[in-house]
A = this chain, B = another copy of it.
Amino acid sequence: MTTADNSIFVGNKPFMNYVTAVVMQFTTKNAESVIVKARGKFISKAVDVAEVASKRFLDNIVESDVKIDSEEFKNEEGKEIRVSSIEITLSKKK
Contacts and interface: CB of A to CB of B under 8 A. Distances in A.
Contacts of A66: 66-68
A46 B50 CA distance: 17
A79 to B, nearest CB: 14
Contacts of A67: 66
A68 B82 contact: no
Contacts of A41: 44
A16 interface: no
A70 B43 contact: no
Given A52-B82, A56-B82, A47 B68 contact: yes
Interface in A16-67: 40-44, 47-48, 50-52, 55-56, 63, 66-67
B86 A47 contact: yes
Interface of A: 40-44, 47-48, 50-52, 55-56, 63, 66-70, 82, 84, 86, 88
